[in-house]
Amino acid sequence: MNALAIEAEGLVKQYRGRSGTVDAVRGVDLNVSAGEVFGFLGPNGAGKSTTVRMLTTLLSITSGTARVAGIDVAADPDAVRRRIGVALQEAGLDHRQTGRELIVLQARLFGSSAAEASARAQELLELVELTEDADRRVKGYSGGMKRRLDLASALVHRPEVLFLDEPTTGLDPASRLSVWDEVRRINQRGTTVFLTTQYLEEADQLCDRLAIIDGGRIVRAGTPSSLKKELRERLRLPGDAPDPTLDEVFLDATGRTRERVAGDVQEVTA
């Protein structure tokens, strides 16, 4: 399958509220190939979560089109839902259920029989190393355990495309590494992963390609190395200078150069 897993054209989201309208996403084009890990980076409020919520059928699209797994999101949301897994920025869990109950219910809602669902739950709980706490209520889970449970519950139906909105925010370094391993393993089995993150190292480690969004618009897109190379050439760095880091690419793309960030800090302390 060489098709596009995610295809968006001119995606726009306007939030209309009592305090006026917010242009959260202002014309985003995306092309994510099947089998890729695609990184979606951007500063706070750039429009990452809004984009993810539109692609996952949770939010209406103001204008533009989006296709996920080849299906138009607005035209046939249920068909899209059957093919995607979603772990949102705020892990969506039910605190009164146990971890196992939550995954079993999720699997059953996707159409598994009771026996299949409990086998799948066991498998997934092992995958995210939650077997020992599986029969405790989610209320008592730590932040990292909740994230892992959320990830597991997004995988019940072996989705074609997995959306992860900041999957490692708030995790300790060891848990972060284990989520990275998870994402790689899931991807090796053929699942396309669309991942938003604030951590540039994460994008560098995991993503085949990435896009940087700022103020609702995509400001850079490409492979991590092509983006670094582009910056190097544009800054005319001498041949013996080290490659720019993804941090530098990000700061450059979002108009927040190191000098300006440092300058801001000085102004505050002065």
Instruction: Write out the residues near another protein by the rule CB under 8 A.
Output: 56-60, 78-79, 81-82, 84, 86, 88, 90-97, 101, 105-106, 108-111, 137, 153
24 forms part of the interface with ligand ATP (CB under 6 A) = yes
Among positions 11, 49, 149, 156, the unique one binding Mg ion when judged by CB under 5 A: 49
Residue 56 binds ligand ATP, judged by CB under 6 A? no
Contact partner at residue 240 from Mg ion, ligand ATP, another protein, none, CB < 5 to 8 Å by partner kind: none
User: Tokens for 233?
Assistant: 């050439």
Cα–Cα dist 83/2, whole Å? 16
Compute how many other C-beta atoms are within 10 angstroms of the C-beta atom of residue 175. Answer: 18
Report, in Å, the least distance between residue 263 CB and Mg ion. 27
For residue 94, the partner it binds in another protein, ligand ATP, Mg ion, none, with Cβ less than 5 to 8 A by kind, is: another protein
- For 202, phi then psi, to 5°, come to -60, -45
Question: Where is 253: in which H helix or E strand?
Answer: helix 246-253
Q: Which does 264 bind (CB under 5 to 8 A by kind): another protein, Mg ion, ligand ATP, none?
A: none
- Whole-angstrom CA distances from 104 to 29, 100, 182, 214 are 36, 6, 20, 38
- Which one, 48 or 157, has the nearer CB to Mg ion? 48
User: Residue 50 interacts with Mg ion (CB under 5 A)?
Assistant: no
Least CB distance to another protein at residue 26 (A): 18
Beta strands in 18-62 (DSSP E): 20-33, 37-41
Binders of ligand ATP among residues 63 to 92 (CB under 6 A) are: 89
- 198 counts as binding Mg ion under rule CB under 5 A: no
191 lies in the binding site for Mg ion (CB under 5 A)? no
Residue with tokens 């080290």: 242
Going by their DSSP bridges, the two strands 161-165 and 84-87 should be labelled as parallel
Q: What are the backbone angles phi and psi of residue 124, rounded to the nearest 5°?
A: -70, -35
What residues from 27 to 46 belong to the interface with ligand ATP (CB under 6 A)?
42, 44-46
| 237 vs 244: CA distance, rounded Å | 9
Q: Which residues bind ligand ATP (CB under 6 A)?
A: 15, 17, 22, 24, 42, 44-50, 89
